[in-house]
């Protein structure tokens, strides 16, 4: 299940002042509200939520590669004592990110877009740089001085916080944007770290050219570490200058390793993986679990291993589909009421397309500062819940809105829930993802010629040029490796 839109969620502020300390990278003294021990603890606490949100991509050889390079870079970093860990998460979005304490994540989407080991190493150094320069801690401190934490999104925040605390904490970290100063500093650190383990940092500069093309291509998601930060074209020029300067000051052999990297990603899934669920013709299908659910026309949606969410563009309501706890419908109902702090006004048993179900209408009970339940108001959150027994699982469908908007939304919620049913269409169940396939160029010519020689469709040409880090008119030679896409 993969994301298509974002809801800002709460991020818990750190309350203990660790005093004035020296930054490991800059050497400057600074006030930090987060101790090293707290950084490590926060990373460890956040990891399960990140995994629940995105999932881990299963490729042992590629995982071994990022572990090897990550450990080598950690050893030459400014903070080699941290317990670094490196992961490939199962997301098609072109992104890499780090959380405090040494946790570094690459999406399979960005791994598919790298065209050599040096590009990967540059971004790896950039992300480790965020950790060694304590950017999360510094950003956290500045937020505490001005505003405690990130604001939650609109009226839905209380419900979302109640429904996915771990996932929210992870998303809070993912949405924690760094300043332009921090990004520029991490670019410089990335040049230093990748060069120290023997890679040509000029390739990191070239990857910013790929990012610029992605951002310019309509309908593509801009990488998180690019958004709200310096223009990737400007960063490309600056990183190229930094790389040349470093190599002038430290003469030596700096590797690129293009062919070796391309062979490592041969077969990597590209784009959405249908087995994790996909939307087609206003229906959400989950081939592995063999169910389908209608998606109202015009609604936006996001999909993760933990849940499927969708909402109209106005943002006055939303629906959440997820697994429910418990071994029976009754146990699931009790757990939902307890976990989400609900006060139930309606509760009945029913069937939905032959599946046993329980329907509940509830109000989420807010707490006063004294710990007592607050009185319901027009701003209170109301929830319509359908618990459905399907196969060996119990699924929960929650329709959520403020009390003032609930009556106008409940029929839409009901229509969606009653559309839950099994799927048996082999075309849906057996849908295969696109994969990157590495091919050898058979003759001298242009990239476009080589792609056509490998039966790539004209409608994919622009995208294929981007993932190859080239232009369609660029020259290729016989024996050269290129990326193609196929099932």
Bridge partners of residue 383, in order along the sequence: 362, 400
Cα 141 to chain center, whole Å?
Answer: 24
List all residues 6 or more positions away from 101 whose beta carbon is below 8 Å from its beta carbon: 39, 40, 41, 42, 43, 44, 82, 83, 131
Helix runs in 84-179, H state only: 108-113, 117-132, 135-146, 157-163, 165-174
Distant-in-sequence, close-in-space partners of 251: CB < 8 Å, separation ≥ 6: none
CA distance 207 to 251: 23
Q: How far apart are CA 415 and CA 431, in angstroms?
A: 27
pLDDT of residue 32: 53
State whether CATH 3.90.1170.50 applies to domain 274-429: no
Domain ranges of the chain: 20-267, 274-429, 434-486
List the chain residues with pLDDT less than 50.
1-20, 31, 138, 140-177, 218-229, 368-372
Element (H, E) at 361: strand 355-364
Contacting residues for 438 by C-beta, under 8 A, at least 6 apart: 262, 263, 265, 266, 481, 482, 483, 484
Predicted pLDDT at 133: 87
Q: Taking a C-beta distance cutoff of 8 angstroms, is the pair 150, 8 a contact?
A: yes
Sheet holding 381-390, edge to edge: 300-303, 307-311, 317-323, 393-402, 381-390, 355-364, 342-352
Predicted pLDDT of residue 472: 97
Rounded to whole angstroms, the Cα distance separating 341 from 362 reads 10
């Amino acid at each position: 299940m993969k994301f298509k839109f974002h809801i800002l969620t709460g991020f818990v502020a750190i309350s203990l002042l660790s005093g004035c300390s020296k930054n490991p990278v800059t050497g400057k003294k600074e006030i930090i509200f987060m101790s090293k021990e707290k950084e490590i603890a926060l990373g460890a606490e956040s990891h399960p939520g990140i995994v629940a949100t995105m999932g881990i991509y299963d490729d042992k050889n590629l995982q071994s590669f990022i572990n090897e390079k990550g450990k080598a870079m950690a050893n030459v970093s400014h903070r080699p004592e941290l317990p670094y860990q490196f992961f490939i998460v199962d997301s098609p979005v072109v992104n890499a990110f780090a959380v405090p304490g040494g946790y570094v994540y690459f999406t399979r989407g960005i791994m598919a877009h790298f065209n050599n080991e040096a590009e990967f190493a540059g971004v790896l150094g950039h992300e480790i740089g965020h950790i060694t320069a304590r950017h999360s801690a510094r950003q956290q401190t500045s937020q505490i001085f001005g505003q405690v934490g990130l604001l939650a999104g609109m009226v839905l925040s209380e419900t979302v916080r109640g429904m996915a605390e771990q996932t929210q904490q992870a998303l809070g970290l993912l949405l924690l944007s760094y300043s332009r100063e921090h990004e520029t500093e991490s670019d410089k650190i990335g040049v230093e770290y990748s060069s120290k383990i023997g890679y040509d940092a000029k390739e990191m500069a070239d990857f910013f050219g790929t990012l610029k093309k992605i951002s310019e291509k309509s309908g593509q998601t801009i990488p998180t570490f690019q958004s709200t930060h310096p223009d990737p074209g400007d960063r490309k020029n600056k990183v190229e200058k930094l790389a040349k300067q470093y190599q002038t000051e430290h003469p030596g052999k700096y590797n690129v390793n293009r062919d070796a990297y391309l062979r490592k990603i041969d077969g990597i899934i590209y784009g959405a993986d249908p087995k994790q669920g996909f939307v087609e013709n206003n229906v959400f299908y989950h081939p592995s679990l063999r169910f389908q659910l209608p998606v109202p026309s015009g609604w936006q949606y996001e999909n993760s291993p933990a849940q499927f969410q969708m909402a109209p563009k106005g943002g006055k309501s939303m629906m959440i589909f997820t697994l429910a706890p418990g071994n029976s419908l009754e146990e699931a109902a009790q757990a939902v009421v307890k976990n989400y702090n609900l006060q139930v006004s309606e509760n009945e048993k029913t069937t939905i397309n032959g599946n046993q179900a329980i329907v509940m209408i509830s109000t989420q009970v807010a707490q006063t500062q004294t710990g007592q339940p607050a009185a319901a108001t027009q701003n209170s959150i109301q929830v319509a819940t359908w618990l459905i027994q399907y196969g060996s699982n119990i699924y929960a469908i929650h329709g959520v809105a403020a009390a003032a908007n609930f009556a106008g939304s409940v029929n839409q919620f009901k229509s969606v829930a009653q559309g839950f049913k099994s799927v048996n269409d082999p075309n849906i169940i057996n849908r295969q993802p696109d994969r990157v396939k590495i091919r050898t160029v058979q003759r001298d010519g242009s990239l476009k010629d080589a792609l056509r020689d490998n039966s790539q469709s004209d409608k994919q040409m622009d995208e294929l040029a981007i993932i190859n880090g080239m232009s369609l008119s660029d020259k290729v030679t016989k024996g050269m490796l290129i990326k193609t896409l196929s099932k």
